[in-house]
Each structure stands twice: as structure tokens, then as C-alpha cells.
Chain A
Amino acid sequence: MDYGRTDLADRLAASYAAGTLRGPARRRFEVLLPAHPALRAATREWQERLMPLTAALPSEAPPARVWQRIEARLDGTVATAPVPRVPLGSRLAFWRGLAGFASIAALSLAVLLASPASVQPPILVVLSSTAPGAGAVAPASFVASISGDGRALVTRPLIQVGVQPDKALELWAIPRGGAAPRSLGVISSSGATVVLRGQVLEGAEALAVSLEPPGGSPTGAPTGPVLYAGKLTL
């Protein structure tokens, strides 16, 4: 489908903002968002249009414990949902369970980051900007969390990245010994992206993010500058 078509983008964005876009279609939309400027613009417009409707809702004061928990999470002193230390097999199931739901994965990742003491299995790779102040993208960094078995990977920007509307970010596994980078797909500059590939880590010594045309590199190799990179320390 051509998501650049404005009427289609508008239609999808309207359903997304209204909440009627559901299930796999909703997830697909969220995955497509970062790479499709027309979708992003249309989504923003629809959100601005519809969210004021919520002003009519009578406020509901949340119980005090909610704020206490938020503060605890920010302080990193309380692991609200510690990552279970379980055998590899169950861990795999844990990650597979997450795979369908990027946002849940993102939340788990937030928990991981908030409670370093509990981090055992998933491998965290921090991708730092290789060119601070580069014109196309604000200096920022990503974190990639890789399941212990190396089959699932979740990327998440640590701060919001402003990618030019006609560009996308693509994630690459850089193998040891100078072999060609392997594409792991286009990732979101604003939210979590789940990458499910067989053995993303096999033979890789680093992860890198390059700037590509929407939809990713047309050639299968990075065509744009590498903006972020991080070494795997296993």
C-alpha cells in the first residue's frame, strides 16, 4: 500500500486517533509511523482535532499511591516489575509474548532502565550519536535491548529524535571482521520498535543506525550516514 497517499493516510490516522484502528492494523500503523511523514502529519492533525473532546470527561483524582509509585520508578529505587530471573526457555517465551506489543516492550524496557540492579539477561546496547549536532537529526541516543537468546531486540530512543520528514532510521548489525552490515529494519525515532530476527547478534560486534529514505535502504546496504552506533559487550 502506498501510505504516502494523502486520503489513505488521513483515513488511517483518523481511525488511529479515534481508537477504532485495532489489533494487527493498529500495531502495523505504529510501526509505519516513523517511516511515513504523511501518516505522522495526519495523525498529529487528528489528535489535535479529537483530543479536546476528552475535556468533557469529569476528572478522576488518582489515588496517592500512583504518584508514589511513579516517584519510586523515577528514583530507580523500586523495581515495580522486576525482570524475572528465569531459565532461558521461559525468558524466550517472555520475549515472544512481548513481541506483539511494542508499547509493552517499551514499558518493560523503561522498567529495566529504572532498575539496573535487576538487569540480568537482556543485553542492553546504548547507541550514541556519532555526529553530535548533525543537521539532519538532533543529537540523541538509542538503547537497544536484546533478549538473552538473541532473537528479539527492542530499540527505543532515549530522547526524541527529530528525523527529517523524508528520511527514516534503519538499524544494522555490524558483523565482526568487516563483513557487510545486516539490515534489522527501519526503526522508530519516537517510540519502541521490536525487531524479530533469527539471531540478530550472531557474529555482530556492534549495532548502528543510519539515515535512509523512507522505508529503508533501497540497496540492502546502508546508503546514508551512520548517526548512532554502539558496541555489543557480551
Chain B
Amino acid sequence: MKRPAVPTPAAEWNERSVDLARLLGRAGLGDRAAFATLYERTGPHLFAVVLRINRDRAQAEDILQEVYVNVWRAAKGFDAAQSQPLTWLTSIARNRAIDSLRRNQTRPQIQGSGAFDGAADGEDDSVYDTVADSAPGPLDLLSQASDARELASCMEHLSAQQRQSLALAFYQGLSHAEVAEQMRQPLGSVKSWVRRALLSLKDCLQRAVQRDQSAVRST
């Protein structure tokens, strides 16, 4: 397929990361003003990431606080050559948020067989309790993330089930079993959809990178 070397999501992500790497570097040297700026620029993103996974706002605030206290302490060791700042920060926030789920089990969950018939009458509406109605669903997010980017064409290669299961797992922090309950599909199928979605994305993004590289070489 002939196409111009459009920026990959990674490239855009990286661009945004240049500034952040500088701020993080200065924070690592104890520069509180730089750290404050880093928080201003990344806090709203990380808060959104955390809230998607742990919808309890008070807990999400605590998690965000913990994330930044740890970022401050770890900033000195951050190696921009190893990792993009935004990737690093987002990973820390996601891990903390996922950890908070396994720690407190307060998450409203669809449990037992009742979940299946409860879906329509609010029993697992509680899952979305604290998400504003206007908030985009996980599938919307996937398509927005892929908007006009390489990821878009990669997403197209996924089946609807693969896309939905990946979106639920990734954005909402649902486990395989929880995704299975949400989708009312067998656990085994869900596992294989998520797995194949990830592999397919990996292959597709790798091809995109190779295309970009050969486009750069040919200019």
C-alpha cells in the first residue's frame, strides 16, 4: 500500500514527550517548579487514565497523589533513552490503578449468574455509576485514539469482538473474566480475542514503522 509517511501515534506521543522529558529531568534535580509544570501538563491525562479504571473519585485522587509522589522520587532515575516520559507516567498510573482494584475489591462488579439477566435492569449499570453519560465508551475511545493515525488502519484489521474485548480490558481495566461477563461470551473466547488483538496490533504497528522508515530512506 502506497501512502505518505504519516506520523504514527508513537511519533506524536514522542513529540509531546520531548518537553516532558526536560521537565522530568529538571524535577530529577530537585526543581519543584519544573515538577509543578509537569503535573499541570500531565495530571489531567493521568487522572483520566486512573478514573477509567478506578471510578471511585476519592480513591482516584489518592492514586494520582501516590503516582506523583513516586514520580518525584523516581524522576532522578528516569532514563529518556529507555522510555518516553508520557509512556512511563501513564504506565505508572495504570499500574497503580490496577493495583487498587486488586486491593480493595470495592469495584461494583457483575458477579455470579445473576449478572447476565441483570444487565438490562441496572444491576451492572453500577459499573458505570460514576462515569458521566456523555463520557465516550471504550470503543469510542479506541476509534478516537486511532483517528487519522496509523493505528486506525491497524484497528480495522481487528474483528469487532477483538476490538471490544481489548477496549474493555485496556481502558476499563477489566480482567478477562470481567470482560467475558460484560460481553456475555465464554472466557476462552475473550482470552483469545484479546490475545489476537494485541498480536495483530503489534504486527500492524511494526509494519507501519517499517513503512515509515523506508519512506524516510527513499526521500
Task: Give the residue of A49, A54, A159 whose beta carbon is less than 8 angstroms from that of B205.
Answer: A49
**Are B202 and A49 in contact (CB-based, < 8 A)?**
yes
Stretch at the interface among A20-28, A194-202, A223-231: A20-28
**CB contact between B77 and one of A46, A57, A157 (< 8 Å): that residue:** A157
Chain B window 131-151, contacts with chain A (Cβ cutoff 8 Å), 1 for yes, 0 for no: 000011000011011110001
Q: How far is the CA of A104 from the CA of B174 in the complex (A)?
A: 20
Q: Contact between B61 and A57 (Cβ–Cβ < 8 Å)?
A: no
Cα A67 to Cα B38 in complex, Å, equals 11
Residues in chain B within 8 A of chain A (CB atoms): 9-10, 12-13, 32, 36, 39, 43-45, 47-49, 51-53, 61, 64-66, 68-70, 72-74, 76-79, 82-84, 86-88, 90-91, 94-96, 98-99, 102-103, 135-136, 141-142, 144-147, 151, 166, 169-171, 173-176, 179, 194-195, 198-199, 201-202, 205
**Contact A58 B170, CB 8 Å, known A67-B43, A160-B77:** no
Distance between B31 CB and nearest chain A CB, rounded to angstroms: 12
The residues in A between 54 and 69 inclusive whose CB is less than 8 angstroms from any CB of B are: 54-63, 65-67, 69
Query: How many Å from the CB of A203 to the closest CB on chain B?
Result: 32
Decide if the interface of chain B is mainly helix, strand, loop or mixed: helix
Q: In the complex, A20→B118 CA distance in Å?
A: 24
Give, as a whole number of angstroms, the nearest-CB distance from A121 to chain B: 22
Chain A residues, CB < 8 A from B49: 54, 57
Cβ of B43: which chain A residues have Cβ within 8 Å of it? 61-62, 66-67
User: Which A residues have a C-beta under 8 Å from some C-beta of B?
Assistant: 11, 14, 17-20, 22-23, 26, 44, 46-63, 65-67, 69-70, 73-74, 80, 101, 103-104, 106-107, 110, 114, 140, 157-162, 190
Name the B residues within 8 Å of A104 (CB-CB): 99, 103
Asked whether B70 lies within 8 Å of A107 as measured between CB atoms, the reply is yes
Cβ-closest chain B residue relative to A73: B69
Q: Among A49, A54, A66, which residue has its beta carbon within 8 angstroms of that of B65?
A: A66
A51 touches B96 (CB 8 A): no
Shortest A64–chain B CB gap in Å is: 11
| Max count, chain A CB within 10 A of own CB: residue among B52, B141, B147 | B141
- Given the complex of chains A and B, what is the CA–CA distance between A14 and B179 in angstroms? 17
* Nearest-Cβ distance from residue B15 to partner chain A, whole angstroms: 11
Contacting pair B170 A18 (CB below 8 A): yes
Q: Given the known A-B contacts A19-B173, A107-B66, A162-B79, are A56 and B44 also in contact in the complex, defined by CB atoms under 8 Å? A: no
Residues of B within 8 A of A106 (CB): 70
- CA–CA, A57 and B173, complex, Å: 14
Tell me whether A160 and B48 are in contact in the complex, defined as CB-CB below 8 angstroms, given that A19-B94, A107-B70 are known contacts: no
Residues of chain A contacted by B169 (CB below 8 angstroms): 18-20
Please, which residues of chain B bring their CB within 8 A of the CB of A49?
Answer: 10, 201-202, 205
By beta carbon, the residue of chain B nearest A81 is B62
Determine which residue in A48, A54, A103, A159 has the highest number of CB atoms from chain B within 10 A of its CB, and name it. A54
Bound: A167/B46 CA distance, A: 33
Cα(A157)–Cα(B78), bound, Å: 13
Alpha-carbon separation in the docked complex, A57 to B145 (Å): 8
Q: A47-B91, A54-B171, A59-B45 are in contact. List 19 more A-B contacts (CB 8 A).
A: A44-B83, A47-B90, A50-B170, A52-B13, A52-B87, A52-B151, A53-B145, A54-B45, A54-B90, A54-B94, A55-B9, A57-B48, A60-B44, A70-B39, A70-B69, A101-B103, A104-B103, A107-B69, A157-B77
Query: Of A55, A60, A74, A162, which one neighbours B51 at CB under 8 angstroms?
Result: A60
Report the minimum CB–CB distance from B158 to chain A (whole Å). Answer: 13
